[in-house]
Amino acid sequence: MKKKLKIIGISFLILLLLLIASPFIFQSQIKDMVKNFINNNVNAKVEFNDVDLSFIRSFPQANVTLDNLVITNFEPFKNDTLASVKQLSLDMSVKELFKTASEDPIIVNSINVDDALINLKTNKDGQINWDIAKENTNNTSSDTSNNDGFAFDIENYSINNSAFNYIDESANTLIKVTNINHTGNGIFSGGTSQLDTKTEANVTFSLDSTEYLSNNLIKLDALIDLDIPNQTYTFKDNKGFVNDLPLQFKGYVKQLEDGQEIDISFENPGSSFKEFLAVIPKTYAKNLDNVNTTGNFKVNGIIKGKVTEETIPTLDINILSDNASFKFADLPKRVENININAQIKNETGLVDDTYVNLNALNFKIDQDVFKSSATIKNLTTNMLVNANIDGVLNLANITKAYPIELENELKGILKAKLNTSFDMNAIETNAYERIKNNGMVSVSGFEFSSADIVNPINISNAEVNFNPGTIKLDKFNATTGQSDLNATGTINNLLGFLLSNKKLKGNFNVNSNKFVVSDFMIEGGSEAPVNQSTEPDTALKIPEFLDCNVTANATTVVYDNLTLKDVKGSLNITDGKAQLNNMTSSIFDGNLSLNGLVDTTKEQSTFKMQLGASNFNISESFNGLDMLQALAPIAKALEGKLNSSIDISGTLGQDFTPILNTISGDAFAELLTGEFKPKNEQLFTALENKLSFLDFSKLNLKDLTAKLSFNNGQVNVQPFDIKYKDIKMTIGGSHSFSNTMNYQVVIDVPAKYLGSDVNALINKINDPAVNNITIPVTASVSGNTTKPQVSTDLTSGVKTLTQQLVEIQKQKLINQGKGKLNDAIGNILNNNNQSSDSTSTTTNNPVKDVIGGLLGGNKPKDSTKTDSTKTKNNVKDVLGGLFGKKKKSD
């Protein structure tokens, strides 16, 4: 007995080892088989990481598993992913692994697909991306038993955690199915059999950008009779769910050579109105266990006919509810008098003949009754719509009657009495003559709040009147924060904006008594630093869906720390840009004009403006505007009036404030009246300390003009002249927006301001012409406005001037000496012609007088010496003194 058990154990161990080792033995053969099958049958790029063979996982069958299978299209869908599968697993008999290409196809008994994504696409030209099977040119026989590849004799299959997308660009259709979990058990070979399936998925369906299903949960448990020879599949004992709405259906689908034949009918098994609420997605329906309903709800339909390239089945789907009501236990309001009567019909089998009749959708909350009806035709081509709305709705009651969670609380009374008739092509082409609107819609007491705005918007009264061809905004009175708005105007394409991707077009007149810009900004935006260097993620943008003209008139506009009065002008908004035209305002006791463009389409918003300032109060404007302080920081020390024109462009920060180091442009300024008030300005103190003859508090700058340019944070000031008393000053240079300076002030200083020594020389010369002598003194200004550094060349200038004055004095003395010398020589010569008696004491008196005059009137100590040698020496001394030589002592 032990020996038998030992033999059995050894045999089992050998068998187990063979099962473990076999996959490694046949691994290469399996890979080759899969690759050959793909290459012979698929016209696409197919990749997979590995192929795994196991005899244990599905014993006694073999299991073949492909990991990370990816199928990528060729042209015209090049590089599009048709399918990706994390794991594809096939179970088959072991003998199927040893078949050669000349034998029958390999039979697969079980398929399991995990984490698959299938993308089916039809482009605008009608081409499809899933037609990737190669034509089999080697087999012309109708007998498919000898085809190379795989055949399926499936007993069970499963698709787990997968997704499916279908996009038809030609029909603007999207079907998106996610969280697919599907299983099926049955025999697909032989004559007839049954297939038992269970399916669960979330379905989204949209047509022409309108979602008819939005991530709705679909469940289906179906028992299907399979008639393989006749290719007919009959549904029996079937039950499905749309969200929580149960549907029973029966009928069949038959495969034809040119399409399919369908004959299916369905209905909800019950009739309670609660089943209608079950259609609503659970995201919005919440828990239906605590809702009380009255009245009935019934949905039934028949889909019958052929599906071909030209036809669809006829449709007769009906949804009915009569005098129903519901109330959630934890909510205060009841919705009652609910009447629904809708049909979806197609009586010809032609797609264009499908239409929807919404004969009634009526309800009542409290005393508010709301009624509507509509007819929609030509669903797939140029859709025709005729709709009527008549009713009153208290918006606050929506959340009091139905457990929907809104991001923002709604308040207000909506009144509507409107009929509209249009076709979609008219909306898309702005053919207003085919858009027929009549009626009105009004809102009162409306309150809207959002995380995107600082304060709730309260609309006290708004009324829109619809007329053929025009929509008029007759009233719009609103407040938010400290701001008020009153608007009227016309809207050109409201339906195009609501029903398609059209822009909202119109012309509006907006009036306001007080408009505070920060009331309309994202909270915290106004605190962004003025000189920020990067654009925050939360920067404001002009909505690109707007295409309108706005004429504005505001009594007071508050922007940051500025208060503007009587603001008027027009604004054109389109494509995320705002064009300002002829904007005017009163500010800083003067007038401001503004033209320009704000562009928010790029990552960083930009602006380009032309500003005109007239009669601005200088100190107020330069203290109130950071930009003016950056352009001319010293000007805030001025008092008086200013005219200026500025061309400027740059980048805007989060709150539409210019980022200073990005702006560039030119400016021209004219001072109508201007006085310095420099007591607190370090620069002027430093200049006065260096140049004591200046007193900036007495400087008059009336009629001063200056030109400057700026770029990349640097301001260049063209040289301009100012006068202080009889002193001319020329100022030029540059500074940065961080207030570092590099300026030169060239001052033509009259000699009389340069100290007592210089004035003594001027007095000694005693010549009126000398009083007009000036010297240029250059003051170099560096550092910044809070800590300026001033240097001058005053010392060298005074030294130069002194040398000039001495030279003038010398020339004057020389000229005077030459005249007196000539007179003296003439007298001497005249005396020599007199009597030869030269001993008389009066002979040399004229010479002595000349010398004395030359020497300042001092007589020689020894006046009795009259010899000619002494006379000659005295003349030499005089000449020497005139030419700068010292007089010798007697």
Going by C-alpha positions, the residue among 717, 595, 597 that lies closest to residue 667 is 717
Confidence (pLDDT) at 240: 83
Q: Backbone phi, then psi, for 721, in 5-degree steps?
A: -110, 140
**Angstrom distance (rounded) from CA 154 to CA 61:** 13
Confidence (pLDDT) at 68: 86
Percent of the chain scoring above 90 in pLDDT: 16
Confidence (pLDDT) at 836: 43
pLDDT digits (tens, 9 = 90+) for 787-842: 888 888 877 777 777 777 777 777 777 777 666 656 655 554 555 444 444 433 33
Give the confidence band of 326 by pLDDT, cuts at 50, 70, 90: very high
Asked if 684 contacts 643 with a C-beta cutoff of 8 angstroms, the reply is: no
Q: Calculate mean pLDDT across residues 585-592.
A: 86
pLDDT digits (tens, 9 = 90+) for 771-780: 677 888 888 8
**Angstrom distance (rounded) from CA 275 to CA 297:** 7
For 314-469, list the strands marked E by DSSP. 314-328, 335-346, 355-365, 368-377, 384-394, 410-423, 436-448, 457-467
Give the confidence band of 440 by pLDDT, cuts at 50, 70, 90: very high
- List the single range of 75-89, 183-197, 290-304 with lowest mean pLDDT: 183-197
433: tokens are 């003559």
What radius of gyration, in Å, describes the C-alpha atoms of the chain? Answer: 51
Q: What are the beta bridge partners of residue 472? A: 465, 490
Does residue 781 carry a pLDDT above 90?
Answer: no
Q: Backbone phi, then psi, for 30, in 5-degree steps?
A: -65, -45
Strands 546-559 and 504-516: parallel
pLDDT digits (tens, 9 = 90+) for 468-499: 767 899 999 999 889 999 999 998 777 667 76
Task: Specify the residue for token string 């170099």.
Answer: 780
**3-state SS, residue 817:** helix
Does residue 884 carry a pLDDT above 60?
Answer: no
Residue with the bigger pLDDT between 558 and 25: it is 558
Does residue 333 carry a pLDDT above 80?
Answer: yes
Does residue 340 carry a pLDDT above 50?
Answer: yes
Asked if 121 contacts 167 with a C-beta cutoff of 8 angstroms, the reply is: yes
Residue with the bigger pLDDT between 822 and 875: it is 822
Give the confidence band of 504 by pLDDT, cuts at 50, 70, 90: confident
Mean pLDDT of the chain: 76
pLDDT digits (tens, 9 = 90+) for 616-626: 777 677 666 77
**3-state SS, residue 432:** helix
Confidence (pLDDT) at 336: 93
Does residue 249 carry a pLDDT above 80?
Answer: yes
Q: Calculate mean pLDDT across residues 83-92.
A: 84
Residue with the bigger pLDDT between 515 and 545: it is 515
Does residue 439 carry a pLDDT above 50?
Answer: yes
pTM: 0.60
pLDDT digits (tens, 9 = 90+) for 112-160: 889 999 888 888 887 888 777 776 555 443 344 444 455 556 778 899 9
Residue with the bigger pLDDT between 456 and 34: it is 456
pLDDT digits (tens, 9 = 90+) for 670-716: 777 656 565 546 777 777 777 777 777 777 777 778 888 888 778 88
pLDDT digits (tens, 9 = 90+) for 355-407: 999 999 999 998 899 999 999 988 777 889 999 999 999 988 988 888 877 77
**Angstrom distance (rounded) from CA 72 to CA 83:** 7
**Angstrom distance (rounded) from CA 27 to CA 50:** 10
Q: Calculate mean pLDDT across residues 201-211.
A: 77
Confidence (pLDDT) at 876: 43
Confidence (pLDDT) at 317: 93
Confidence (pLDDT) at 98: 60
Does residue 19 carry a pLDDT above 60?
Answer: no
**Range among 30-44, 314-328, 783-797 rated most confident:** 314-328
Q: What are the beta bridge partners of residue 147? A: none
